Chain A
């Protein structure tokens, strides 16, 4: 990371702490925003959050590593999360799975080279009456078929 990038990240985290308070309870909301903006939480970001919240960096690391939606390594700009739980599976998840892999040219738990897309599985999204379902960033899409799934990717670009 370049020096000016580090400085701007530090500044960004300081602003977040101003907004959420210098308090342990602010940790998760702060990490959620960093993840959203940068598509991961770098080691440097973790250290800065720890320093500014006055807690040990290991504490931040252990929180980041616990939650599925927080990442320690760079993810794609867009994250596609396909539900793999049984109701969606029965509704035709496998076909969507194939279509997504084919379209993006990657496997699940991988990121495209241009860092635009990451494919992940997720547990039940609470859309089981309308499966197969997937989450693309913050948005949920339901009743997918291979064609609509690919169209959603294209529309998201």
Chain B
């Protein structure tokens, strides 16, 4: 009933493979910045927070910039509906996450790391602080880390306050600076003008947790898993209609057919890949592969069986976006309300197809005209659910068959 979120033993080829706390820091200090960057670049590691930006490129940009200060930020705002892998990493594998931050800090030349933890996860704060304290005792944090003259780095934890949009990296920085969590225009990117105006790396928890494994075991080992364009493995947060929900580490390239098998899902109708801002894939397309190049996701996998009404699912997502839009730009603020209105009208059977088409046009406008990823991707479920389940939703009784 309560706090049973810790599993004793997990299995996985990369992240959940054995790791000795501190070992990647030791190795990183031995091989030096150039070789770390080389190894990360060779691994073709891409960001696990959703956008899939090459991690080495981000690090190189900050490493190469000249500034008095640089920041290494770990984005632990995990708020995409259906995502909980960062929770598992932070509670069960803090050494991977924090060692990854230290290695990153060393590589880019930063002395200050910040973990931005979503307010909902305050229950883990004490354990995380204790863990940081034990790292300080072992000189894995602090001054002259592991005897490396001049390498000082420490990590502070800051809490969010219940705003999904603060996971967007520039909104996160605004929030850290004591402002409303409203995304900034990009460019400039955080690598140039980040926290307090200094060059900043913002990385997802899972991205950072992969780094120690890459550093200690090598890029080739890492690349042996996954596909050519999506190297390594991914943590998938699986929820919904299946026997074994939970976090799974699977190589990139795993198909949805394989996935439903692994998690014990039967009678499946559809899978929402990538959370509320992702896309809904019907059973007929379960040969699609989880990867950056096909069905891309920050890890959220929500499974719906035949008994679920897809219009209800869509409504839940659109309510989420109406709630979580920061309201800063019009396409997103108004657009999501209009799309939700549309869903309600379809529910009531009070629509015409020209009206639906105008909402689809609006969706396209939102995708191009919104300021940040929230408004750019919130139409995704609207478009994909109406398209893939039109027979169910616009069935002949004229009211969407969703009155049941």
Contacts and interface: CB of A to CB of B under 8 A. Distances in A.
Interface string B33-45: 0000000000000
Given A123-B81, A127-B84, 20 more contacts: A25-B196, A28-B161, A63-B178, A67-B162, A68-B163, A85-B81, A86-B316, A90-B241, A125-B120, A126-B86, A127-B5, A128-B82, A128-B83, A128-B237, A129-B237, A129-B245, A129-B247, A130-B5, A139-B2, A142-B5
Contacts of A67: 160-163, 181
Interface residues of B, number: 57
Contacts of A52: none
Given A86-B317, A126-B121, A128-B81, A143 B1 contact: yes
Interface in B2-61: 2-5
Contacts of A70: 161
Contacts of B1: 141-144, 148, 152
Given A128-B81, A130-B5, A85 B123 contact: no
A26 interface: yes
Interface string A43-63: 000000000000000000011
Nearest to A144: B1
Interface string B275-316: 010000000000000000000000000101000100001001
Interface size class of A (residues with CB under 8 A): 35 or more
Interface of B: 1-5, 78-84, 86-87, 118-123, 158-164, 175-182, 196, 237-241, 245-247, 272, 276, 302, 304, 308, 313, 316-317, 319-320, 323-324, 326
24 contacts: A24-B178, A25-B177, A25-B178, A28-B161, A28-B178, A32-B119, A67-B163, A85-B81, A87-B82, A122-B120, A122-B162, A123-B79, A123-B164, A124-B82, A124-B83, A126-B78, A127-B5, A128-B82, A128-B240, A130-B4, A139-B123, A140-B120, A141-B2, A148-B1
Contacts of B237: 128-129
Interface of A: 23-29, 31-32, 62-63, 66-70, 84-87, 89-90, 122-131, 135, 138-144, 148, 152
Given A66-B181, A70-B161, A86-B317, A129 B239 contact: yes
Contacts of B323: 123
With most chain B CB atoms within 10 A of its CB, the pick from A29, A66, A131, A141 is A66
Contacts of B304: 90
Looking at B5, B161, B177, which has the most chain A CB atoms within 10 Å of its CB? Answer: B161
A67 B238 CA distance: 28
Contact of B4 (A126, A128, A139, A142): A142
Question: Would you list the 8 A-B pairs with minimal beta carbon distance, nearest first?
Answer: A68-B162, A27-B178, A128-B239, A67-B161, A129-B245, A69-B162, A66-B180, A87-B239
B257 to A, nearest CB: 21
The winner among B158, B179, B313 for most chain A CB atoms within 10 A is B179
A67 to B, nearest CB: 4
A62 B159 CA distance: 18
A113 B7 CA distance: 41
A21 to B, nearest CB: 11
A139 to B, nearest CB: 6
Contact of B80 (A28, A124, A135): A124
B176 A25 contact: yes
A152 B83 CA distance: 25
A32 B180 CA distance: 14
A103 to B, nearest CB: 16
A127 B84 CA distance: 6
Contacts of A27: 178
A149 to B, nearest CB: 9
Contacts of A130: 4-5, 245
Contacts of B182: 66
Contact of B122 (A63, A90, A138): A138
A67 B165 CA distance: 10
Most chain B CB inside 10 Å of its own CB: which residue of A25, A26, A143: A25
Nearest to A89: B316
